Structure 1
Amino acid sequence: MMMMMMMILLLTESVLVSYQSNSTVQCELMGNRKSVRVRAGESLYFPCPNAVCYEDTEGTSYDWLKNLSRTNQIERIGTEESERVHYHQSALYILWLTPDDTGRYITRWWYEKDKCDEYETDIVVYEEFHTDLLYFTPPEEKASAIYCPVCEKQQAAFIWYKNFSLIPNQESKNVLRIRNSSKESKGIYTCVCTWEHNGLKHNTSGHRRLIIKDQSANNPPVFQLPVNNSIVITDVGTELILVCSVVFVCDGCPVRWERNETTLSEEDGYKQENRIKDGSVQLFLNITKVSELDLLSEFRCTTEDSYRVMFVSITLKSRASMLAVILACICTFLLVLVLSVIVKWFSLDLVLFLREISIKFNRKEDGKLYDAYVIYQRNNSDETTSKTVSDFVNGSLLTVLESYCGFKLFIHGRDDLPGEDCMNLIETKIQLSRRLIIILTPGTSSISPEAYDLQVGLHQALVQGETGVILIQLGEMQDYTHLPLGLQHLLCKNNPLLWRDGQSSPTSKFWKRVRYRMPVASSRQRSSEKRSLECPSLPV
C-alpha cells in the first residue's frame, strides 16, 4: 500500500514538473496589478488573484516569484512548508510578516504544457497602523453590513473591532451586521481572522472606514486636485503625469480626463489609471510625450452626478528659455553699469543742481556774514609766485565765486578798513565765515606775523571744529613738509584742489569741486550793472 502511494506521488510530481516554466515560453500578463496592504507581525494567506486559477488546480502547476526592488531581480519562492515564505499550489503563505516582505509578487499559472498566465500583486507591509491600510467602502445613507476584506477563501474565526475597541456579542463570521445604522455608526471597523497552518495559529487583519452620508444632503463631488485654472510647467517631448483627486458622495460617478472637451485615448499616447483610496478617486493621466499641441490645449478633469457635470481645468506651459533669462540678466547688468557710470560722471552736477533747488525751498540763516574767508601768502619773496597768487585771488576766485555764483568772500586788503585792529578783525571775520579757503603755494613757509589769520583759522578748524576748510594748491609741490603741522594734518584728511591755468570757466571740473565744498550761498550780490551771465545750473 505504501509503495503504491509513493508511486502515485512520484507520477504526480513528474506531471507537475512537466508543466514548469520554460525559458522559451512567454507568459501572458493578465489584468491590472493588484495591491494588498498588511500589518507586520501578522501572517498572510494569499490565493491566486484569478478565481479560475485558484480553483482549477487539477492538471496544472504554479510558480510563485518575488521581484526584488533593490536589485530588480526575480527570486523564486519555494514550496517547503517549513519555510516562512512558501506556496502550496495556488496559495501563497507569508508567515509573521516583516517590512522586508514588501515587494511585487508574481503568480504564473501553467494550465497547459506551453501556455501560462501571469498575475502581479504588490504586497505592502506596514509596521504600524496607517490610513493606507483602509479598504475603500463607498459612503452610504444606510449601512446594513460590513464585509471583512481578508480571509475570503479560508476557514477562520473572526472577531470585530470598531475604532480599535472590541465589539461585544458578535458572531464569528466574515460579515458584521449593523442594525439601525446612523451617524454614530461611522468609524473604522477592523476584522481579525484567526486561521491555522501546520498546527500553528495565525492572525490577519483588515480595516474599513464606514462613512454614513446625510440622507437629505445633495452634496456634489469635491475636487481636491488639481486647482482649477492652474498652470503646469513642462517641456516639449518629456513625460508628464497629471493627477485628479475627487471625493464622492455618490456611487459610480464617472471621472475622466479630457483635452479641449475631447476624450483621450491610449492610442494617442494618453493613458488613464484610477485608484480608489479612503473615500476618494484618484485619476492619473500619463502623457507619454508632451507635444506642442498639448501646450496650446486645455486639459479638464471631469466628473458628474445625477444633477450636473463638473470639471476643473489646467493648462501646460513650456519653461522659459535659459537664453532669454541670460540675455535679460546681461541687459540688466549693462543697464546698471551704464547708469552707475552716468551717476559717477555727473554726480557733482547732480548735487549742485539739487542744491540750487533746495535753496529756493529750504533757506535758513545761521548768523554768518561771509561764505568764506580767504587765507593766502600776501608777502612772497618770489615775484612769479606773488603774481600767480594775486592773479588767482583777484581774478578767477573773485570772478567765479562772487560775480557768477553769488558767494560773499572776505579778502584782506579789499574788505578791511585802514586803522582797524588787525588781530581783532581777523578773529571776528573768521568767526563770521562759514568756510576757510586756504591758498597753498610752493613758497608757503613757516607761519609769520602776517600769517596770523592762518593760525586763527587752523585753531578754529582743528580745535573748535566749527569751520570747514577748502585747500587750493597753485602749482606742483614735491611735499608738504615745509608747511605748518596743523596744515599738514588738514592735508592728510582732505586732498587739496589743484589749480591749473585754463580753468577759469565756471563749468570746469575744478570750480565744480570748489562749489561742492562751499556752503549754500546766502548772498546773491550782483554788480550794479545786471549781468546776463550767472553761475550756470549744470545739467544732470
Structure 2
Amino acid sequence: MMWQMLMIFLLTEFIPISSYTSNFTVSCERFQEKKTLRVRAGESLYLPCSNLDCYEATENTSYIWYKNLSKTLQFEQIGTEESEHVHYHESVLYILNLTTNDTGSYITRWWYSNNSCDEYEIDIVVYEEFNTNLLYSPMSEIKVAGIYCPVCDKQEGTFTWYKNFTLIPNQESGRILRIRNASKDSAGIYTCVCTWEHHGRMYNTSGSRELLIRDQPPSNPTIILLPVNSTMIADLNTEIVLLCSVRFGINVRDQCKVEWERNRTQLDGVDGYKQEFREVDGVSQSVLTISKVSQVDLQSEFHCRVEDAFKVRYVSVTLKSRVAKNSQASLALVEWDMVMCLSLGERGSDEASVLLVVLPCISMFLLLLVSETVKWFAVDLLLFLRGIFTKLNRKEDGKVYDAYVIYQRNSLDEMTAKTLSDFVNGALPTVLERYYGFKLYIHGRDDLPGEDSINLIETKIQLSRRLIFILTPGTSVDQSDISPEAYDLQVGLHQALVQGDMGVILIQLGETQDYTHLPLGLQHLLHKNSPLMWREEQLSPNSRFWKQVRYRMPVPSSCQRNRKINIKTVHSII
C-alpha cells in the first residue's frame, strides 16, 4: 500500500513536466524581443498575450503558459485552476497578490494549428516596496493636457489617482487625469490605481510617473514648422490646401503675423483663394485654400510670409502637375518622330529616300519602345538590383524596425474596422514579415499592458526606418486627444514633416471622395505623394501593389528570417 501511494505521488509530480517537455521540443517562431514589466508586491497582474492576434483569436487555437525555474533553462507549465495564485485562462495570465517569488521569465505559446505556434516572452520583476525603477518615463508640462494611466489597457476597471501617494480630492474618475494650467506646484509623482474584478473579488494594479515642471527661458526663436521649401503635387481644376504653421518666440508675440502670398503678392480678397488664420496649441497657422488650381498657379511660386518683432522670413512652395516630366518628354519625342517621318516621306520619291525615311523612324520607334518597357519594369529592376548591392554593402544603422505602422483603432464603422483589421493583422504582416523578411512594429500587436504607451511610441518610431500610414474613409484625429491611438499619429507626422528624416508610405483602404477630414499634416503628405490603393484581390505577394510597397521600404534588416513561406501559405493565411 505504501509503495502504491508513493508511485501515485511520483506520477502526479512528474506528469506536468514531462508533458511540458514534449511540447517544448517543438520549435515556435518568436516575432518580438523579450520585454520587461516591473510591478509592486501586493498588487495583481492581468497579463494578456502581447500579440493582438494571439490575444483575440481564441477560437480554434490553444495556449500554454510557462514560467522559468530559478533563472535556469528549465521551465514549468502554469496551471489553469482559478483557485491557483498564478493561473491562465486562454490568452490571459493572472498573477494574484504578487510576491517577490513571482519574479521571473514567463513564456506564452500560441498554437494556431497542429504544427505551428508563436512564442512570446516577458520578464516580470516584483519590488517589495516602491522603487524609482517602477516609474514610467517622466512628463514635462509642454506635453501635458492630461496624464494617461499606463495600466489596465485591455481590461475594464475603475481608476483612482494619487499625487505624491496622497489621494487627489474631487478628482474626475477616469483613465486620464486632466491637469489645467500646470505650474511648479503641479510637479510630483502621480499614481494611477486600477481596480478590477476577477471571480467576484477585487484586485488592484498601479502605475506611477513623475511630472516635471522646468523653468522656461525668457525667450526663444521663431520656428517655422510647416511647410519646408518644397514642391507639391496638384491637379488642374481641383481644390488644394496649403498649410503654414509657426511657433513664435515668447518675446515676439506682440507683432507676429503669418500669411500666404503668390509671387510676393497678397491674396486677401482675390477670387478663388481663401485664407484663414488660427491658433492650435500655441502654434500659429495660416491655411490657404485654392478652390480650383489653374495653369497660372502651376507657373507661380507661393510663399508663406512669417513676420515677428525682429525679422521677416519666407518659405516657398511650388505646385506641380501630376503628369510626369518623363511622360511629357516621351510624348514630345513621339510627336517629333511622327512629324519627321511624315515630312521626310513627303519629300522622298525613290528607294534611297524611302530608306532614309524608314530607318530613322524604325530606330526611333524601337528606342521609344525600349524606353517605355524599361519604365514599366523599372520597379522590378530596381528591387532586384537594390537587394543585391545593398546586401553586399550592408551597414547597420542602429534601427530595429523597418517600419512603424500607424492606423486608426477607434470610431470606425463595423465594415471599415473589419477591412482595416484584416489588412493590418493579416495581409500586411503576412506579406512583408513572413514572406519578404521585413520587421514591422504594429501598435496594439507588439506592445504590452503596463508599458508606458507615450514613451513607447516615441522610442519605437525613432527605432524605425519608415512610417506606414494606413488611411481609411473615416481616418481623423482630435487634436486634444492624448490617447496612444492619436499620439502615434501626431508623433509620426512630426517626424515626417518637421524632422524630415524618415520616409513615409501612404496606403489607402477603400474609396474616399476627398481628404478634407484628415489632419492637415496628412493632407500635406498626400499632396506630395499619392497613396497606394489596396484592394482585397491583390493577395499575391508579387502583385503590383506589394512591389510598390517594397520599393518604398528599405532593404530588410540583417535580422530577417533565413526562410520564406511560399505563396500558397500566404494565400491561406490571408
Same fold flag (TM > 0.5) = no
The TM-score normalised by the length of structure 1 is: 0.38
Higher helix share: 2
The TM-score normalised by the length of structure 2 is: 0.36
